[in-house]
Structure 1
Amino acid sequence: MTARHSRWERTGAEQHNSAYEEARAALLLGQMVYDRRTELGLTQGELAERAGMTQPQLSRLESGGATPTVPLLARLAAALDAELDITFKPHRDAAA
């Protein structure tokens, strides 16, 4: 027989949701960097050099496998000739 406790289940679900949201954000960010880089016709190596990072670091970021710092995001924005815009938005269900 396995012991179950409702608090354990909630904690697990909360951790799962948090991890999912972090992974989703990393993938979306990576896709935005990839889209802008290809729009400009830059290789990963060219963008990495402009942003002061290595090509493997950029590859990991574009694939959603890295969480960049705000200073790195600022360097990437400058290298991509873009404006960095970080916002906080209320959750959809919080607006009700």
Structure 2
Amino acid sequence: MDAGAAIVLGQAVYDRRTSLGIDQASLAERTGQSAQDVDRLEGGGTVPTLPLLRTLAKALDATLDVSIDTEETRVSFVPHAA
């Protein structure tokens, strides 16, 4: 995942977190990360591992969809049905 993809992922995490009405500290607690780690992730400053991506999807009660093409990366968290 390159820097541009990390930024797209970070924005998707931020968007889903805020749509749930939780703060970075709450997401950090749900994922076992620090609030600083969540802030860095949302800012595109880190590239998460596959296990962390799985943990994020669970913590955000969503399915993580990633589409990587030669020119564009799309990332979204699709909420689970109620």
Asked if these proteins are the same fold (TM beyond 0.5), I'd say yes
Q: How many residues align?
A: 72
1:85 Cα deviation from its structure 2 partner: 2.9
State percent identity of aligned pairs.
53
TM-score (normalised: structure 1): 0.68
Q: Decide whether aligned partners of structure 1 residues 65 and 91 sit closer, same or farther in structure 2, where only a CA change above 3 A counts.
A: closer
Superimposed CA distance per residue, residues 27-75 of structure 1 (whole angstroms, 9 cap, x where no aligned partner): 0000000000000000000001001111000000000000000000000
Identify the residue that residue 42 of structure 1 maps to in structure 2.
22
Of 62, 76, 79, 2:59 maps to: 79
In proportion to residue count, which structure has more helix?
A: 1
Give the letter for the 1:83 counterpart: T
Higher RCO (CA-CA < 8 Å; seq separation 6+): 2
Identify the residue that residue 62 of structure 1 maps to in structure 2.
42
Unaligned runs of 5+ in 1: 1-20
Two-structure CA RMSD over aligned residues (Å): 1.9
In proportion to residue count, which structure has more strand?
A: 2
Q: Which has the larger radius of gyration?
A: 1
